[in-house]
Amino acid sequence: MRMMMRVSVPVDTGNEAIKDGSFPKTVMAFVKQVKPEATYFVADYGERTAYFFFDLKDPSMIPSVAEPFFMNLGASIDMTPAMNLEDMKAGIAKAMK
C-alpha cells in the first residue's frame, strides 16, 4: 500500500543530528531500505520535516521504517495511506459500481 510518512524533527535535536551526522545517515538509510517514490523536505510548524511516499509491503515493516527516526532524531511520525491520480480514478470507478 502506498503510504505518506511525515517525519518532523524538533529544532534542537535536528541541530545536533546535523552536527553529528546522524540526520543524513538516518535519512539515507531509510531511502536505501525503502526506496521511496518521492521525498520532500520542508519547514513545517518551525520544524525540519520530511515527507516520504513509499510502498508499505506489509504492516510489520512499520517499526523498521519508523524506529530509526524516533531513536536517532527524536522525530514525531505520521503515516497515512495515500493515492496517486490513477489510484483515485480506479477507486472512484469501483465505488460507482
- The tens digit of pLDDT for each residue in 9-64 reads 999 999 999 999 999 999 999 999 999 999 999 999 999 999 999 999 999 999 99
Pairing relationship of beta strands 47-55 and 76-81 according to DSSP bridges: unpaired
CATH number at residue 12: 3.30.70.1060
pTM: predicted TM-score of the whole model, two decimal places: 0.91
Q: What are the E-state strand segments in 1-97? A: 2-9, 38-44, 47-55, 76-81
pLDDT value of position 34: 96
- CA angle centred on 50, ends 24 and 46, rounded to 5°: 105
**Rounded (10°) CA dihedral 58, 37, 48, 62:** 0
Total domains in the fold of the chain: 1
- The tens digit of pLDDT for each residue in 49-93 reads 999 999 999 999 999 999 999 999 999 999 999 999 999 999 999
Q: Domain range holding 90?
A: 2-95
For residues 1 and 59, give the distance between their C-alpha atoms in angstroms, rounded to a whole number: 9
